[in-house]
Amino acid sequence: MEFITMKMIEEVIATIRERSSAQPRVGMILGSGLGALANSIEVSDEIPTADLPHWPVSTVEGHAGRLIFGVLEGQNIMVLQGRTHYYEGYSTNQIGLPIRVMKSLGAEFLFVSNAAGAINADFNPGDLMCITDHVNLIGMAGLSPLRGPNLDEYGPRFPDMARAYDWDLIALARQAAQEENILLHEGVYFCLSGPEFETQADLKFVQLAGADAVGMSTVAEVTVARHSGMRVLGLSGITNKTNLDGKTFVSHEKTLAAGETIAPKLAALIAGVLRRI
Residue 91 among the catalytic residues: no
Strand 109-118 to 42-48 pairing: unpaired
Residue with smaller CB distance to ligand HPA, 76 or 193: 193
Q: How far, in Å, CA of 214 to CA of 203, rounded?
A: 9
Residue 54 among the catalytic residues: no
Shortest Å, Cβ 93 to ligand HPA: 22
Q: Per the residue annotation, which of 85, 134, 185, 227 is the catalytic one?
A: 85
Residues contacting 52, CB < 8 A, separation 6+: 12, 15, 16, 67
Residue 227 among the catalytic residues: no
Contact positions vs ligand HPA (CB under 6 A): 115-117, 197-198, 214-216, 239-240, 242, 250, 255
Residue 8 among the catalytic residues: no
| Coil/strand/helix, residue 188 | strand
CA distance to 73, 114, 136, 185, 240, per residue, from 209 (Å): 38, 20, 11, 18, 20
Torsions phi, psi of 116, nearest 5? -145, 155
Q: Per the residue annotation, which of 176, 216, 220, 263 is the catalytic one?
A: 216
Query: DSSP secondary structure string, 113-176?
Result: EEEEEE-STT--TT-EEEEEEEEEHHHHTT--TT-SS--TTT--SS---TT-B-HHHHHHHHHH
Shortest Å, Cβ 240 to ligand HPA: 5
Residue with smaller CB distance to ligand HPA, 9 or 214: 214
Shortest Å, Cβ 94 to ligand HPA: 20
Residue with smaller CB distance to ligand HPA, 48 or 194: 194
Residue 186 among the catalytic residues: no
Do you find a cis peptide bond into 195, omega within 30 degrees of 0?
yes
Residue 217 among the catalytic residues: yes
Residue with smaller CB distance to ligand HPA, 143 or 277: 143
Q: Which residue is nearest to ligand HPA (CB)?
A: 117
Residue 252 among the catalytic residues: yes
Shortest Å, Cβ 34 to ligand HPA: 14
| Coil/strand/helix, residue 40 | coil
- The set of catalytic residues is 32, 63, 85, 87-88, 115, 216-217, 240, 252
